[in-house]
């Protein structure tokens, strides 16, 4: 016997807000990657708390920013130097 699940109005509202946010990011020229969309879908599917979501997103952003810093620091020397010599010395060659 299959049981139909009654939609939770709170979850439906959260889903609608998430879809609206995704659309706004796309309109503003900053569409989410497939990985980011999957992360938000997982939050919804698994019912994560807002605090747990926030911590996970903060960690994701920190890693993404670090990856970009390293990528910029590994530019060939002929393309120029980083504006902050300390950053350049810290990241160059990593």
37-91 pLDDT, tens per residue?
899 889 888 988 989 999 998 888 888 776 655 555 565 665 555 555 565 566 5
Which pLDDT score is estimated for 94? 55
Distances (CA, A) of 11 to 7, 17, 39, 42, 53: 8, 10, 16, 13, 15
Report pTM: 0.52
Which pLDDT score is estimated for 30? 84
b/e string for 17-52 if b means 16 or more Cβ within 10 A? eeeeeeeeeeeeeeeeeeeeeeebeebeeeeeeeee
Which pLDDT score is estimated for 21? 85
Which pLDDT score is estimated for 33? 87
Delimit the domains of the chain by residue range: 34-94
6-21 pLDDT, tens per residue?
556 677 787 788 788 8
């Amino acid at each position: 016997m299959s049981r139909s699940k009654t939609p939770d109005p709170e979850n439906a509202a959260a889903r609608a807000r998430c879809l609206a946010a995704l659309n706004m990011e796309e309109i503003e020229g900053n569409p989410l990657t497939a990985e980011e969309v999957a992360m938000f879908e997982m939050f919804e599917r698994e019912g994560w708390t807002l605090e747990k979501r926030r911590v996970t997103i903060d960690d994701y952003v920190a890693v993404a920013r670090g990856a970009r810093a390293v990528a910029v620091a590994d530019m060939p020397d002929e393309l120029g130097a980083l504006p902050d010599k300390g950053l350049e010395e810290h990241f160059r060659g990593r």
